[in-house]
C-alpha cells in the first residue's frame, strides 16, 4: 500500500483544526498508519526543507515549523501521495480550491496549515525522517473491502 507523510503545521494545532483535518482524510478512505504530536528542532526542520535551502522563504519556513508543536502522520491508500495533495489544495491558500484543506482553512502562503509529500520518493524520505519503523502500524482496517475491489 502506498504511503505518504502528512504534517499538520503549528498553525493547524494552535487554531484547533487538527480534528477537522484528520476527519477529511478518514472520510476519504485513507488509512492512518502512524501519528504523533511533536516539536520539530532546527536540524529536523532544515532536513525537511533541504530542497528549498538558499531560497528566500527557507529561513522563515524553517522557523514556522519549529514555532509550536506539529502533528506528524503517515497515511496509506491507493495513490495516496497524489490524493493527499488534492485534498490539501495549492501551496498558497489564497489560490487553493475552497473545498480543499488549504482553501478552507488558510489565507496566506506563509501559514498554509498542512504539509504533504510531493512524490512517492519524497514520502519515503520524509517518513524515515519523522518515524522509526516500529512506530508505523500494519493492520487490517474494517471496511477496506468497501473502498475498492
Ligand atoms: P509543503 O507540502 O509544505 O512542502 O508545500 P508544497 O509542496 O505545496 O510547497 P513547496 O514544497 O514548494 O514549499 C514548501 C513550503 O514553503 C510551503 O508549504 C510554504 O509553507 C513555504 N513557501 C513556499 N513558497 C513560499 C513563498 O513564496 N513564501 C513563503 N512565505 N513561504 C513559502
Ligand atoms: Mg513541498
Interface predicted TM-score (ipTM) of this complex, two decimals: 0.94
Does 148 score more than 90 pLDDT? no
Residue ranges at the known binding site for ATP = 9, 57, 85, 91, 102, 112
Does 143 score more than 90 pLDDT? no
Read off the pTM: 0.96
C-alpha 116 – ligand 2 centre gap (Å): 7
State the chain's mean pLDDT as an integer: 97
Query: What is the predicted pLDDT for the residue at 19?
Result: 98
Q: Name the residue with the closest Cα to ligand 1, atom 12.
A: 91
pLDDT (mean) for 110-133:
98
First to last CA, the chain: 14
Strand-pairing partners, residue 69, are none
| Residue whose entry in the numeric block shows the C-alpha cell 487490517 | 140
Domains (range + CATH), the chain: 2-140 (3.30.70.141)
C-alpha 59 – ligand 1 centre gap (Å): 12
pLDDT (mean) for 16-31:
98
d(CA 124, CA 80): 13
Alpha-carbon distances, residue 86 vs 21, 42, 66, 89, 128 (angstroms)? 13, 29, 25, 5, 23
Q: CB–CB of 79/14 below 8 Å?
A: no
Q: Name the residue with the closest Cα to ligand 1, atom 27.
A: 57
Spell 105-143 as b/e; 16+ CB within 10 A means b.
Answer: bbeebebbbbbbbbeeeebebbbeebbeeeeeeeeeeee
d(CA 79, CA 58): 29
Query: What is the predicted pLDDT for the residue at 127?
Result: 98
> For a pLDDT cut of 70, what percent of the chain falls above it?
100
Q: CB–CB of 9/115 below 8 Å?
A: yes
Query: What is the predicted pLDDT for the residue at 97?
Result: 97
Amino acid at each position: 500500500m502506498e504511503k505518504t507523510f502528512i504534517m499538520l503545521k503549528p498553525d493547524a494545532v494552535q487554531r484547533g483544526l487538527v480534528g477537522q483535518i484528520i476527519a477529511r482524510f478518514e472520510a476519504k478512505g485513507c488509512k492512518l498508519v502512524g501519528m504523533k504530536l511533536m516539536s520539530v528542532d532546527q536540524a529536523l526542520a532544515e532536513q525537511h526543507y533541504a530542497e528549498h535551502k538558499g531560497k528566500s522563504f527557507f529561513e522563515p519556513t524553517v522557523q514556522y515549523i519549529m514555532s509550536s508543536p506539529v502533528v506528524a502522520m503517515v497515511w496509506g491508500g491507493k495513490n495516496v501521495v497524489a490524493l493527499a495533495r488534492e485534498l490539501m489544495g495549492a501551496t498558497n491558500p489564497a489560490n487553493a480550491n475552497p473545498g480543499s484543506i488549504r482553501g478552507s482553512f488558510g489565507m496566506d502562503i506563509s501559514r498554509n496549515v498542512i504539509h504533504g509529500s510531493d512524490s512517492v520518493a519524497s514520502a519515503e524520505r520524509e517518513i524515515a525522517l519523522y518515524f522509526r519503523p516500529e512506530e508505523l502500524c500494519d493492520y487490517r482496517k474494517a471496511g477496506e473491502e468497501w473502498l475498492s475491489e
